[in-house]
Amino acid sequence: MNRLENKKIVVTGASSGFGEAIALACAQEGADVALVARRADKLEALANRIRSMGRTAIVCPCDVGEQAQIEATVAAARTGLGRIDVLVNNAGMNVSHRRIDATTTEEWDQIINVNLTSAWLFTKIVMPEMVERRDGTIVNIGSKAANYPSLLAGVAYSASKLGMHALTRVTNEEGNPHMVRACTINPGVGATPILDLRPKPPSAEDRAKMMQAEDVAMTVVFAASLPQRANVERIDLYPTDVSVG
């Protein structure tokens, strides 16, 4: 039996990396998915793969740094899916300049806005229907940088992912009495395109030892498919070979 049969799921940052893998894994487990990201062409290609599985895929082009676009995206997802059972706040970004003295105000604002504020806004808009229905799961994709802030991850990125902990905790305080739950998944270094923004990108050999997108996707499926009475608030998912992060 598919673990997410007929669940209606919104995945942000779905055009590549973790988000793409999460959307595919959810569809493979029987879910219908709303795909959220800026690149409509990438979303259409992913949607076609999901539709070939016999599942519904809604393409929702959106700049998650813009509140009006988030509001329109949630409305489109509700219309296309009928309801929202699971929200996966995965959208994230980083920049090459990561030191305090090298980070500009514009870069700080952009990273916090995309990585954290968007997750709060999606949660704020989606959560009331979950509370009313007394059923819903919100999964926030954090980072090892939340537990171990570092110069490698950068000051703004680390701060944004630390903020995910607070968002998840408060979501559970508000939502748990109404059978709504939230989980933060903190992956260690993942072999995704964001690595190319590092001052010194890792080698192909090291990338093969890192968390792969499908590892994170399997963890999202696990968190979302638990009985609604059970909630795992935080999952730390690190590479077994600690030398790669």
Active-site residues, by number, are 157
Say how far apart CA 59 and CA 55 lie, in whole Å.
13
Q: Rg for the chain (alpha carbons), in Å?
A: 17
Handedness of CA 22, 28, 31, 34 (dihedral sign): positive
Contacts of range 37-45, beta carbons closer than 8 Å, 24 or more positions apart = 37/12, 37/13, 37/61, 37/62, 37/91, 38/62, 38/63, 39/15, 42/15, 42/16, 43/14, 43/15
